[in-house]
Amino acid sequence: MKGLRLSEEYYKSFGAPMIREKFPEFEYKIAAGLVGDGSECYGFDDKISKDHDWGPGFCIWLDDENYQVIGAALQREYDNLPDVFHGFKRLMSQWGGGRVGVFTIEEFYTKFIGTAQLPASFDDWLYLPENNLAKCTNGKVFSDPSGNFSMIREKLLEFYPEDVRLVKIAARCMTVAQAGQYNYIRLIRRKEYFAALYSETKFCADIISLVFLLNKSYTPYYKWCHRAVRKLPLLGEFIHQKINELVQNHDSALKNRIIEEISAGVIKELRNQGLSHLESNFLLDHGPVIHDKIKDNNLKQRDVWAG
């Protein structure tokens, strides 16, 4: 059983009845779900995942006012819920605390993005860790009658303002081209094998990030980004397959060809989205063209590499 489904069934079997019985006057002010850290929040959990920080459990979110009234009591009732559900017990690791239980809405969002408010400026958006934005918007909200928790989540799911997205896309074009199309084969020729390996990894990480940006979706934690890219409608399956070919092959000339195939596929999508009109097969050439489409003067004055 997948952890997200287990958690939702656990909530419906024990969490919702507990809230209804013990806190009836607050039932419509309480949100519940499973969002945040953990492979199960992305649907990527497997047998290996079950050895730590996996099992029945869910999050409860309250606004500050209601938390002051019932937060401690609600946590005690949550702690008294059955330890075992469908034969599974949650195993907590040293660093796995704080993933489930009772939280304020502000506490939850502040943990990941530093505030319970939407980013107020382009700079605020630009410097938020993207994998933390993914953590705020993954998983599932099981119940949120007031909509207070989901309101922030849904606004974050609308993705970056377009100018911020363009800043990031332009910068990824630059770093992808530099690491993969330019430096990789040069480093092989110099027999700088560590640097070549780093260059290949940098290319893969940044190309995945670029494809997430083209899909208007946040790139998750590095551990899951390759697996997650496969689910994206634009280029997802193609990038997943080609990166598998790249990292599993040991022929540098073939690796170089795969890098060019990946780059060509991404350049085609840049044209499809009207982000670049160039015919060049070098992604570095497309970065400044995309950067020039930024409307905000302050963002446009930034170096194209600084995304």
User: 7-49 pLDDT, tens per residue?
Assistant: 999 999 999 999 999 999 999 999 999 999 999 999 999 999 8
Give yes or no for residue 190 having a pLDDT over 70: yes
Q: Is residue 267 part of a domain?
A: yes
Q: What does pTM read for this prediction?
A: 0.94
153 and 255 together in one domain: no
129 and 192 together in one domain: no
Q: For residue 13, what are its two tokens?
A: 């079997």
For the chain, how many structural domains are there in total?
2
201 and 256 together in one domain: yes
Task: Indicate the residue among 140, 157, 174 that finishes a domain.
Answer: 157
130 and 190 together in one domain: no
Task: Indicate the residue among 157, 189, 216 that finishes a domain.
Answer: 157
Q: Is residue 203 part of a domain?
A: yes
32 CB burial (10 A radius; 0-12, 13-18, 19+): buried
40 and 80 together in one domain: yes
| 241-270: burial string, b at 16+ Cβ within 10 Å, e else | ebbeebeeeeebeebbebbeebbeebbebb
Q: Is residue 189 part of a domain?
A: yes
Give the range of the structural domain holding residue 220, as residue numbers without chain letter.
162-300
What backbone torsions phi and psi does residue 37 show, to the nearest 5 degrees? Answer: -80, 150
Q: Is residue 307 part of a domain?
A: no
128 and 169 together in one domain: no
169 and 253 together in one domain: yes
126 and 192 together in one domain: no
Q: Is residue 306 part of a domain?
A: no
Element (H, E) at 88: strand 88-89
Q: Is residue 193 part of a domain?
A: yes
167 and 296 together in one domain: yes
Yes or no: say if 291 and 166 are a contact pair by the CB < 8 Å rule.
yes
Give yes or no for residue 93 having a pLDDT over 80: no
Give yes or no for residue 50 having a pLDDT over 90: no
206 and 119 together in one domain: no
Task: Indicate the residue among 157, 178, 195 that finishes a domain.
Answer: 157
145 and 211 together in one domain: no
The string of pLDDT tens digits covering residues 194-208 is 999 999 999 999 999
Q: Is residue 14 part of a domain?
A: yes
> Residue 94: which pLDDT band, with cuts at 50, 70 and 90?
low
